[in-house]
Structure 1
Amino acid sequence: MVEGQGIGSWLRLRAVRSAGRVALVFNGAELTYDALADRVDGIAAGLRARGVERGDRVAYLGDNHPSFVEAMFATARLGAVFVPLNTRLAAPELAFMLADCGAGALISTPALAGRADEAAAGSAQPLVRVRVGADGEDGAGDGFEELLDAPPLTDLPAVGLDDPALIVYTSGTTGRPKGAVLTHGNLTWNALNVLVDYDVTSADRALMVSPLFHVASLGMGCLPVLLKGATLLLQERFAAPDALAAIERLRATSISGVPTTFQLMADDPSWSTTDLSSLRLMTCGGSPVPDRVREAYEARGLRFSGGYGMTEASPGITLLPPQHTAAHPRSAGLAHFFTRVRIRDTATGQLAANGAAGEVEALGPNVFQGYWGDPAASADARTADGWLRTGDVGVLDADGFLVIADRLKDMIISGGENVYPAEVENALMGLPGVTGAAVIGLPHERWGEVPHAVVTLAPGASLDAATVVERLSASLARYKVPRTLEVVAELPRTASGKVPKRLLRQRRTAAAGDS
């Protein structure tokens, strides 16, 4: 069979070049590239035997598992479209996504099978159900391994770089989530950006603790590693002691996550005794690494490589190499090698000068073409000359380093002054005992809005509003300092580790209504 250009061709091509090399490690079991390629071809044959054809959508609900990788590449092999689903969502939310993309098949792992069945029952169209770890004898669907019993494929569709490969649903901060369509070319160019900018080698052993359904783990970790012929060390889900043990036991060379990931590892009792000498690359996204966390890793001889991205860019837009973190501690870094970034003044609509704040815009072959079934939203996502409108406020310096101020929709306007919550949150994280912080705007009769802080504290720590005002007034303008404080046991977080400010605002509105 002649190989196409899509990501579905990668493993068969890699199997020849890397036969015998370990591609995946999961729960102590190893899978080589040639064995993985054979399984992917078999699963593709099984999906086709159950009616999956080019262009059909195949959804997957489950934690990190080899079946995720196998199902994704098998779907791509057929020219179908893979739809990874967020395991944190409720069944009605999942049912909406299944209906929205018109999924024809749904694969699920054992722990999520019940929720998958409930979501499938709420979907508008019949679904082929496939269960990982099941034998299909209960009549609820085929077992994943049964897919391998189908006759081998004798032909494959020609898949090009412009064909859709994934539909990844955004977090839906306003209204219903939208399905970002990422092409084979988007994913390939994003992977090339990673290979160039992060110096991934075939000898790397990448520990994957963040969920693969999140585009950061998939696009910045899984796909580049497999393209290069390196090894994925899959962890079903993140737990700090397990991650530390895996780094030492499996000699991981890289790990990626959000600031919370690394904070929990540094706070774990086994932190000081774990051998981290194998690590050469730590990538962190979502928000800047708090100073105390960065310092904890630097004390162990480790530096972070930061970055900035979004689903619609597959997701990489910028990276901050480790050698620049000291000079640019708050920066999201430079535009990826094959990607470009610019800033547009939101008031004038003109391109902003270096050092001026405005909306971040991105252009490159990794940037998506639009949202599934939503041409209006697709058009709104791009400028007239084709650049992606990120919805984030940022500043570029003369050397091209980007600093993200905040989301446009999260920006607080107090007395006519712009307050970027991320700046205030970083200051709050510098206070003793603060383990998490989020800042939202509350309505104010005189100032329009004023900042309100929501924080989590370490056991035994205490904090009050007066202390916040006293400590932060030394480093922030008065209008930026929160006058009100709320201490909570836990901040809500998305799968990518971000705090959805919309939920915090809704809680405050509900609380005000009850009082």
Structure 2
Amino acid sequence: MNHPRATPTLLDRRTTPLKLVRGQFQRRVPLFKPVNVGVIAELAANKFGRTVPIYLDEPFSWDPEHRDTLDYVDYANLVERLSAAFKAAGAERWDRIAIVKSRSYDIQAFVWAAARIGAIPAPLSAGLDPAVLNVLLERLQPRILITDSETARYAGLDTDRFRALSCVAIGIDQVEGAISIEELWDAPTPAPSPLKDDEPMVITHTSSTTGVSKLVEASATGVSFTALMESIFPFGHSHDELLANSISHAHIAATTEQLAAFSRGTPLLGIGKPDEATILRLFARHRPTIALAHPNDFMDWEALVDDPAKPFASVRVFFNTFDAMHSRTIRRLLNASERKFPFWVDIYGMTETQALTASFFTRRSLGRRGNPDSRGNGWPLPGVRVRIADPMNGGRRRHQSEPGMIQAKTRANALSFVGTPEKYSQRRHGRWFDTGDWGRRGRWGQLKLLDRVADRIDGVESCIAIEDILLDRIPDAREVVIVPDGDGRPVPVVCMRDGTSLSSSTWRRVSADLPSLEYPFIIDWVELERTATAKARRFVLSEMIKNGGSMDIGQISSTVALRDGA
């Protein structure tokens, strides 16, 4: 039964300096030694009891009590029952469990349940192309596959497909050829038996921006290290905050963020579907103080900054995951906060390395429009090293201010790539890992991301920087992406907000001082090919332009749509 709670006022979410300082000394589950996500729910429940709420945008569909508010004890109990269901379905230590279901905040509960019994969870986003999903399942070869009817129809998962994969399927609802989770719900609870700290704890996939995603193994050591860096960040996690988490919950950042939150006893607002209506409803009701999202979701939320409900008024910290963040979005959302000193934390990293650097922005530091841009990615986190390498030999460039390959050395580096270990080996240079990004170091050692190596265009230093400028100059643009045409010339792909357009005169004005750009290719937002984390699939857009702008995926050869990512 759901119990209504009083709606917090803006005043309720105010944080005094004393509260901020006190929050850094509150009790916690320590992460200085690795903690497996399979046991963190129980540890946090024992530490904090029922004092920490978890608000949900919608109840977990498989929760017998159908609750939209949980606490740490409730969550730990659900994780235990899911682990019992996996065990009853035949899961053993080292078995891989694929989690392929509709986007929801419940995905990490399945991840934690699998890790609890020493299986290796592999959450796969239902936002991936069906063909890509099935390629990943072939590489993964799971022992158990959990899905729902919507995703099963979308990805072609049925009795024959389960048989071909030699896996046992568990259906959250009615799925052809799958055991219903209800049949397994009352199985006896097994004792925790997670794998060792340096063994694979979870497998997540890259975003598919440059092709078919890679399956990346991460250990408890690596995930705990990243979670520790987040949990000790000054004036972040504490019992007095409310963290709204709306990222893809199949992402490695979801695993590290939730581990950090549970270690500190941070109240959570779990959001599975971060559409504008959901964000407006939940933020106005619960008044979160920290907002975590993917950069492209933050861009979508720009449309809400002038809403009378003031959904971002209580937010003190905006926190984005690993992708490029545009300065216009940062500026608009910071200005929508009614906190005295709101700030933005821009994290640079990727699935293969997790978080690498952090940069911070305030209203004042952003300065006037377009100066500075947000391509400065800050400095490496404690315990992380970053260098610029020569693409010819993979060694360190003598002059770090000269553009080159960005390489990283961190305890969170991937263990391997499932199904494509040769690609992993190609990106290792001793203990350094090649990120696949192109950038340089600034005068004071700060990292500056220029582009993804696979997306570079001859004669253009940074497509991302040009996109940043154009977004500032075209206020009604929802997205701008620079991709090459068939002759390698830079073409802006522009998505305008509903009811707006981009005139020829406006385009000439905003692009007059930029490198020679072709006339923009205008596309509707719903037609934009996007990844599971809402990023544009640039190589697909480039191929579409080469094919005359058709959005029919059938006109793009399978060798392009299903090419291996960089």
- Shorter-chain TM-score bucket reads 0.7 to 0.9
Partner in structure 2 of residue 357 of structure 1: 403
Q: Which amino acid aligns with 1:19?
A: G
CA contact (8 A) 2:34 2:224 kept: no
Tell me, in whole angstroms, the C-alpha distance in 1 between the residues paired with 2:405 and 2:538: 19
CA contact (8 A) 2:242 2:266 kept: yes
Tell me, in whole angstroms, the C-alpha distance in 2 between the residues paired with 1:150 and 1:4: 29
Partner in structure 2 of residue 429 of structure 1: 471
CA contact (8 A) 1:440 1:504 kept: yes
Residue 462 of structure 2, aligned match among 420, 424, 434: 420
Percent of aligned pairs sharing the same letter: 22
Partner in structure 1 of residue 344 of structure 2: 304
Partner in structure 2 of residue 16 of structure 1: 46
CA contact (8 A) 1:170 1:177 kept: yes
Partner in structure 2 of residue 161 of structure 1: 197
- Structure 1 residues 362, 24: closer, same or farther in 2, change over 3 A? same
Partner in structure 2 of residue 205 of structure 1: 242
Deviation of the 1:128 alpha carbon? 1.8
- Structure 1 residues 119, 370: closer, same or farther in 2, change over 3 A? farther
Partner in structure 2 of residue 366 of structure 1: 412
CA contact (8 A) 1:53 1:80 kept: yes
Q: Residues 26-69 of structure 1: CA distance to partner in whole angstroms, max 9, x if unpaired?
A: 23622222232233223212211221011111111223445423
Count of residue pairs brought into register by the alignment: 494
Tell me, in whole angstroms, the C-alpha distance in 2 between the residues paired with 1:176 and 1:458: 29
SS of equivalent to 1:403: strand
Runs of 5+ unmatched residues, structure 2: 1-32, 59-66, 556-566
Matches within 5 A, 1:307-456: 307-313=347-353, 315-322=354-361, 325-326=365-366, 329-330=373-374, 331-346=376-391, 349-383=395-429, 385-413=430-458, 417-432=459-474, 433-444=476-487, 449-456=488-495
Tell me, in whole angstroms, the C-alpha distance in 2 between the residues paired with 1:9 and 1:453: 47
CA contact (8 A) 1:92 1:122 kept: no
Deviation of the 1:114 alpha carbon? 3.1
SS of equivalent to 2:521: strand
Q: Does 1:188 align with 2:224?
A: yes
Deviation of the 1:119 alpha carbon? 6.0
SS of equivalent to 2:520: strand
CA contact (8 A) 1:102 1:125 kept: yes
Partner in structure 1 of residue 517 of structure 2: 482
CA contact (8 A) 1:304 1:325 kept: no
Tell me, in whole angstroms, the C-alpha distance in 2 between the residues paired with 1:481 and 1:468: 12
Partner in structure 2 of residue 492 of structure 1: 529
SS of equivalent to 1:266: helix
Q: Does 1:41 align with 2:80?
A: yes
- Structure 1 residues 183, 467: closer, same or farther in 2, change over 3 A? same
Tell me, in whole angstroms, the C-alpha distance in 1 between the residues paired with 2:293 and 2:34: 32
Partner in structure 2 of residue 127 of structure 1: 167
Residue 142 of structure 2, aligned match among 103, 110, 113: 103
Q: Which amino acid aligns with 1:338?
A: G
Q: Residues 247-284 of structure 1: CA distance to partner in whole angstroms, max 9, x if unpaired?
A: 22123121122333223323138624325343222112
Runs of 5+ unmatched residues, structure 1: none
Partner in structure 1 of residue 93 of structure 2: 54
Partner in structure 2 of residue 243 of structure 1: 279
Deviation of the 1:443 alpha carbon? 4.4
Partner in structure 1 of residue 180 of structure 2: 143
- Structure 1 residues 164, 298: closer, same or farther in 2, change over 3 A? same
Q: Residues 438-467 of structure 1: CA distance to partner in whole angstroms, max 9, x if unpaired?
A: 1112344xxxx3211111223454435675
SS of equivalent to 1:273: coil
Deviation of the 1:431 alpha carbon? 2.4
TM-score by length of 1: 0.87
Tell me, in whole angstroms, the C-alpha distance in 1 between the residues paired with 2:294 and 2:516: 26
TM-score by length of 2: 0.80
Residue 32 of structure 1, aligned match among 71, 75, 94: 71
CA contact (8 A) 1:95 1:120 kept: no
- Structure 1 residues 67, 275: closer, same or farther in 2, change over 3 A? closer
- Structure 1 residues 156, 505: closer, same or farther in 2, change over 3 A? same
Residue 118 of structure 1, aligned match among 147, 151, 157: 157
Tell me, in whole angstroms, the C-alpha distance in 1 between the residues paired with 2:398 and 2:34: 42
CA contact (8 A) 2:103 2:126 kept: no
SS of equivalent to 2:546: helix
Deviation of the 1:76 alpha carbon? 0.5
Q: More strand by proportion, 1 or 2? A: 1
SS of equivalent to 2:126: coil
Matches within 5 A, 1:259-274: 259-268=295-304, 271-274=307-310
Moved more, 338-347 or 463-472: 463-472
Deviation of the 1:180 alpha carbon? 0.8
CA contact (8 A) 1:226 1:232 kept: no
- Structure 1 residues 274, 406: closer, same or farther in 2, change over 3 A? same
Higher relative contact order (CA 8 A, sep 6+): 2
CA contact (8 A) 2:284 2:310 kept: yes
Moved more, 226-235 or 495-504: 226-235
Deviation of the 1:156 alpha carbon? 4.0
CA contact (8 A) 2:132 2:213 kept: no
Q: Which amino acid aligns with 2:348?
A: Y
- Structure 1 residues 232, 144: closer, same or farther in 2, change over 3 A? farther
Tell me, in whole angstroms, the C-alpha distance in 2 between the residues paired with 1:382 and 1:202: 40
Tell me, in whole angstroms, the C-alpha distance in 2 between the residues paired with 1:272 and 1:293: 20
Q: Which amino acid aligns with 1:336?
A: L
Q: Which amino acid aligns with 1:504?
A: L
SS of equivalent to 2:485: strand
SS of equivalent to 2:318: strand
- Structure 1 residues 250, 146: closer, same or farther in 2, change over 3 A? farther
Tell me, in whole angstroms, the C-alpha distance in 1 between the residues paired with 2:498 and 2:269: 33
CA RMSD of aligned residues (A): 2.8
Partner in structure 2 of residue 223 of structure 1: 259
- Structure 1 residues 266, 470: closer, same or farther in 2, change over 3 A? closer
Deviation of the 1:381 alpha carbon? 1.7
Moved more, 61-70 or 176-185: 61-70
